[in-house]
Amino acid sequence: MNIVGLSGISGSGKTHLLRLLKNELGDKIEILSSDNYYLPIEFQKRDENGYHNFDLPAGIDDVAFLNDISQIKSGKTITKKVYNFNNPNAKESFFEIKPAPILIVEGLFIYHYSAINDLFNYKIFLHLHPEIALNRRLIRDQQERGLTEETIKYQWHNHTLPGFETFVQPYQNLVDIVIDNQNHFQEAFDQLLIALQNILKSD
């Protein structure tokens, strides 16, 4: 099994790209997101104004995350509860991750956790200018998570961008490939697809 990491700034398009890749490659890949390992809200740190900060590595249960990756690598199937972004109206649901030729591990801080970082056979970073990422997040978080524009901008400038600059961006130059999702989505998708197909061929 090849374990592939995919990171990038929030709003860079990781989830959308991976959904399309899954449609393209089917059971040759499985996807595991760090989003499903967020600790309950009562364990999330608050900033100086009392707002929860979800853009810190400490907000993720990296021990459980590492354990599940290791379980999948060993050939076992895991069952996880889908993270609902603290939406009380969201319906509880679960998903299975089965062993596959490629396991894509996706998330903001995946390269920051040294024990998880050591498991990757191949590392990818999805690049997007922060202003474009913010505009995408404004649309997504209002439509999908019911947040106000004021809340989204507060989180972005006080949590998301500082967290990215401290815990995510430093790893951009330490990966195998940086994919630019700035202006040409199809090119970014094609580049990522080719990279994964080459990994499959190398087995």
Boundaries of domain holding 24: 2-202
- 132-186 pLDDT tens trace: 999 988 998 888 778 899 999 999 999 999 999 999 999 999 999 888 877 677 8
User: Does the pLDDT value for residue 193 go beyond 70?
Assistant: yes
Alpha-carbon gap, residue 34 to 180, rounded angstroms: 22
- 25-58 pLDDT tens trace: 999 999 999 999 999 889 999 999 999 999 999 9
**Residue 184 identity (one-letter amino acid):** H
Run of H or E including 151: helix 149-155
The 3 state secondary structure assigned to 58-109 is: HHECHHHHHHHHHHHHCCCCEEEECCCCCCCCCCCCEEEECCCCEEEEECCC
Counting the structural domains of the chain, the total is: 1
Q: What would the mean pLDDT of 107-121 be, rounded to a whole number? A: 96
Of the chain, the percentage scoring pLDDT greater than 90 comes to 63
CATH code at position 155: 3.40.50.300
User: Does the pLDDT value for residue 86 go beyond 80?
Assistant: no
Instruction: Report pLDDT for 87.
Output: 62
Q: What would the mean pLDDT of 65-91 be, rounded to a whole number? A: 84
CB 122 within 8 A of CB 2: yes
Residues in the chain: 203
Of the chain, the percentage scoring pLDDT greater than 70 comes to 96
- Please state the separation of Cα 163 from the chain's center in Å: 14
The SS3 of residue 19 is helix
